[in-house]
Amino acid sequence: MPDDEGHPAVGEIELGSVLTALADPLRRRVVRVLAAEPDGTARTCSSFALPVSKATVTHHFRILREAGLVRQVSRGNSRMASLRRTDLERRFPGLLAIVAAEPEE
């Protein structure tokens, strides 16, 4: 079962949910940015400077979190997101590399 914050366990990460999450260009941008950072990097959602409202940013991160692409944790007053690189590589080898290789729009 997903944990209290909606993170699926690694074995629960489903291809359909991951592909649906990655079908959106802004969500791919988040994954691409995180994939280019050192493993374990955690960033605030606002640091991605997505060109949408705060509510929409929250929505996009919920989709990413519930699909199993990012892990979100609270640190002080901030909500930080990191890429579930190892889990994703185990479930869908090569998928992150494909997303990371997409040219910036």
Tell me which residues touch its own copies (CB under 8 A). 15-16, 19-20, 22-23, 25, 28, 92-95, 97-99, 102
Residue in 99, 94, 87 with CA at minimum distance from that of residue 36? 99
- To its own copies, the closest distance from the beta carbon of 24 in angstroms equals 8
Of 16 and 40, nearer to its own copies (C-beta) is 16
- To its own copies, the closest distance from the beta carbon of 95 in angstroms equals 6
Q: How far apart are CA 1 and CA 35, in angstroms?
A: 26
Of 2 and 25, nearer to its own copies (C-beta) is 25
Of 5 and 14, nearer to its own copies (C-beta) is 14
Which residues are CB-neighbours of 27 under 8 A, at least 6 positions away?
A: 21, 60, 63, 64, 69
Q: Which two tokens stand for residue 104?
A: 């910036």
Contact 17, 67 (CB under 8 A): yes
Of 19 and 73, nearer to its own copies (C-beta) is 19
Tally of residues, the chain: 105
Contact 105, 45 (CB under 8 A): no
- To its own copies, the closest distance from the beta carbon of 26 in angstroms equals 11
- To its own copies, the closest distance from the beta carbon of 25 in angstroms equals 6
